């Protein structure tokens, strides 16, 4: 594996998550401390206007700004800026447990996978963590994706995933929005990369807030991407 100075970069795309990003940074920092891995926590502040930058920095993360709004834009910036050989990507709204980062790292660094995708349907979710419409949408779109890209990935849209830095560079990710989650898997499948999967627990957000998910709109972005000629 090509050395870049660090073993692991934990990347968190962040748009207006001032209330939760510090908790996620602390959880990720605990993983680095427990495992002894030489790593960093990289928060990509995606044009936030609520103090997310200051909150993340105050908890010890390295923070970069990406002014072009979009989930894909934020993660692509994180991949570009990351110094680790293995990149673990996770949302910073407390719905994902960053302790899974250790297993994801080992699957890539020791077991030889190029990418690892979390499977939210592999373990019981916390009550209320995902709406019924979202569950149905993810299952349907993931089934289409499995046929389209000849892969066995069960959960195309899990927000907790990992990839080798050089593999991410190889598949030339381009999309700006939520369809980026599908593009990563499509790129890996079409490039012949090895993809592992692990069950992960989806949690409810640790603060009371309105969900940012837009099931129909985001689902259509994934579907349109898959229907386009690759």
User: Virtual CA dihedral for 24, 32, 67, 114, nearest 10 degrees?
Assistant: -110
Euclidean distance between CA atoms 12 and 28, whole angstroms: 10
Euclidean distance between CA atoms 218 and 223, whole angstroms: 9
Give the pLDDT of residue 31: 98
Give the pLDDT of residue 194: 98
Question: Which residue shows structure tokens 């926590």?
Answer: 41
Give the pLDDT of residue 2: 42
Give the pLDDT of residue 224: 83
Q: How is the chain split into domains, by residue range?
A: 6-227
Give the pLDDT of residue 3: 43
Query: Mapped to the 3 state alphabet, what secondary structure does 91-157 carry?
Result: CCCCCCCCCHHHHHHHHHHCCCCCEEEEECCCCCCCCCCCCHHHHHHHHHHHHHHHHHHCCCCCCCC
Give the pLDDT of residue 21: 98
Determine the topology of domain 6-227 in CATH: Spore Coat Polysaccharide Biosynthesis Protein SpsA; Chain A (3.90.550)
Euclidean distance between CA atoms 209 and 230, whole angstroms: 38
Residue 191: CB atoms within 10 A of its CB come to: 13
* Sequential pLDDT tens for the chain (230 residues): 344 579 999 999 999 999 999 999 999 999 999 999 999 999 999 999 999 999 999 999 999 999 999 999 999 999 999 999 999 999 999 999 999 999 999 999 999 999 999 999 999 999 999 999 999 999 999 999 999 999 999 999 999 999 999 999 889 899 999 999 999 999 999 999 999 999 999 999 988 766 656 666 776 777 888 878 55
């Amino acid at each position: 594996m090509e050395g870049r100075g660090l073993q692991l970069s934990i990347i968190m795309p962040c748009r207006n998550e001032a209330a939760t990003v510090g908790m996620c940074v602390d959880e990720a920092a605990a993983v680095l401390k427990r495992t002894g891995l030489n790593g960093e926590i990289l928060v990509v502040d995606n044009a936030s206007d609520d103090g997310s930058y200051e909150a993340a920095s105050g908890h010890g993360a390295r923070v970069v700004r990406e002014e072009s709004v979009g989930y894909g834009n934020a993660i692509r910036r994180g991949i570009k800026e990351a110094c680790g050989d293995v990149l673990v990507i996770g949302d910073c709204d407390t719905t994902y447990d960053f302790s899974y980062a250790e297993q994801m790292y080992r699957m890539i660094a020791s077991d030889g996978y190029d990418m690892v995708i979390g499977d939210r349907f592999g373990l019981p979710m916390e009550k209320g963590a995902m709406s019924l419409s979202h569950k149905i949408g993810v299952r349907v779109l993931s089934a289409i994706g499995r046929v389209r890209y000849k892969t066995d990935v069960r959960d195309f849209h899990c927000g907790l995933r990992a990839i080798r830095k050089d593999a991410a560079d190889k598949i030339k990710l381009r999309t700006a929005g939520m369809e980026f989650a599908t593009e990563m898997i499509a790129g890996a499948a079409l490039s012949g990369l090895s993809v592992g999967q692990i069950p992960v627990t989806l949690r409810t957000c640790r603060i009371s807030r309105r969900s940012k998910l837009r099931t129909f709109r985001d689902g259509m972005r994934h579907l349109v991407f898959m229907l386009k000629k690759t």
